[in-house]
A and B are shown apart, each in its own frame.
Chain A
Amino acid sequence: MTLSFPALLPTIATDPIHQFKIFPLLDWTAAGYNLSFTNSSFWMMVSTGLVLAFLGVAASRGGLIPNRIQSLGELSYGFIADMVRSTAGEEGLKFFPFVFTLFFFILGANIVGMFPYAFTTTSHIAVTGALAVVVILIVIGYGIYKNGLGFFGLFAPHGVPLPVMFFLVPIEIISFLARPITLGMRLFANMLAGHIMLKLLAIFVVMLAGAGLAWAAWVPYVLLIPITALEFLVAFLQAYVFALLTCVYLKDAIHPHH
């Protein structure tokens, strides 16, 4: 059977970047800013809606003996609570709802983005960077609120001789300032690269098959299967890493002297 792939081209983009393009669904300008409801906004709504629906259903039952979905919700609760407690300590549990929301927001966006035609909101630096900046602002804000100027002891580890301090303090400050950048960039780059790779392989399949090399098209096609599975793992892992690093940074805000 030979499909006429060129005929499909208007609907299936052969451009790996096309999937990241944002276009408005509802134009809206407010206070001079373009706040249009875009495809990105739509899929963000879908992913948060699905997360909320899942957790809402899981929580609303409240049964003494959980069913499957309630069990999953409670497992998620325990998983994140344990992570916060073991990384940031008991006091870090203040930020449990925030870390929980972060994890599920990113996980939902990553997983929804895995489905064809869906848009991966976390493949944009504006989104991941903003989340990272919020995390760092909370760390700095709470660190100063909790420890006053003692928070800046974070940059001057104990028991270091004075001459070394001259090198160490700038390094510590730079590494601290790099945190929001690496935090946001890690998630963004992972999602971007994964989706480009999937798209490229898919395009190879289409192009090889379209060029009459159906036998060669099998190679990228078979490769796509494990890589899709890998991308699902990455989708979970990046959400976990983001939440975990948030806990690690929160620990610094709670106990700046390590």
Chain B
Amino acid sequence: MSLLAFLAETAAHGGEAVKAPFPAFDPTWFASQLFWLAVFFLGLYFALARFVLPKLSDTLEKRANRIAADLDEAARLNNQSVEAQKALELRLAQARSKARETADKAREKTEAELVTETTRVDADLARKLETAEGRISKLRADAMKNVEQIAIDAAEAMTARLGVKASKGDLKKAVSAALEKRA
């Protein structure tokens, strides 16, 4: 206390104030200051520690949790949408391959029908051609037979004019040989 008193003495100023110590070092009020400091500081401490700070930290924690939960939810929804996208793509691919299959089948069927029809028509044509050719060759053979007869008759007439009596067999043989040579 003597040090404080000394400080108070030296800190005091002015002629009339010498007896009054510097207020900050005036021990008169120390007890009061300490008592009320304890009252208000402890009061503030308990009010803050008991009510204010837990409430503040609670709010901060709640907000952090809420943000984390919202982020999780967003991630979950994002995954969901990605999966839905994948499913959609899968379905699209399936539909596309199915469509291709159907188109292929239809084309194959058409091609097969075309082939059978073509072969049928071809066969028909070939048959018709054959009969026609048969008729033609028969007609030609007939015609050739007539030609031979005519040639034999002509040859007989010519040999008769020349006064040569040629047998029918010889004439026929000669005409055949000549025709063969021409053919």
Binding site for B on A (CB under 8 A): 15, 17, 20-22, 24, 33-38, 40-41, 44-45, 48, 51-52, 55-56, 58-60, 62-64, 66, 70, 73-74, 77-78, 96-98, 100-101, 104-105, 121, 123-127, 130-131, 188, 192
Contacts and interface: CB of A to CB of B under 8 A. Distances in A.
B40 to A, nearest CB: 4
23 contacts: A20-B23, A20-B24, A21-B23, A34-B32, A37-B32, A44-B37, A45-B40, A48-B40, A48-B44, A59-B53, A62-B55, A62-B58, A62-B62, A74-B59, A77-B56, A77-B60, A96-B53, A105-B41, A125-B25, A126-B29, A126-B30, A130-B34, A188-B24
The 10 lowest CB-CB distance pairs between A and B, nearest first, are A97-B49, A41-B36, A20-B23, A33-B31, A59-B55, A126-B33, A101-B45, A48-B40, A22-B29, A59-B52
Contacts of B2: none
Nearest to A123: B24
A119 B49 CA distance: 27
Contacts of B14: 15
A58 B48 CA distance: 12
Interface residues of B, number: 38
Contacts of A52: 44, 47-48, 52
B59 A41 contact: no
A190 to B, nearest CB: 13
A39 to B, nearest CB: 10
Contacts of A97: 45, 48-49, 53
Contacts of B35: 33, 35
- Secondary structure type dominating chain B contacts: helix
B60 A74 contact: yes
Contacts of B36: 35, 37-38, 40-41, 44-45
B54 to A, nearest CB: 9
Interface centre among B22, B59, B63 (most CB of A within 10 A): B59
A47 B32 CA distance: 17
Interface string B57-80: 111101100100000000000000
A124 B52 contact: no
Nearest to A70: B59
A59 B56 contact: yes
Given A97-B45, A130-B37, 5 more contacts: A22-B26, A51-B44, A52-B52, A56-B52, A104-B44
B116 interface: no
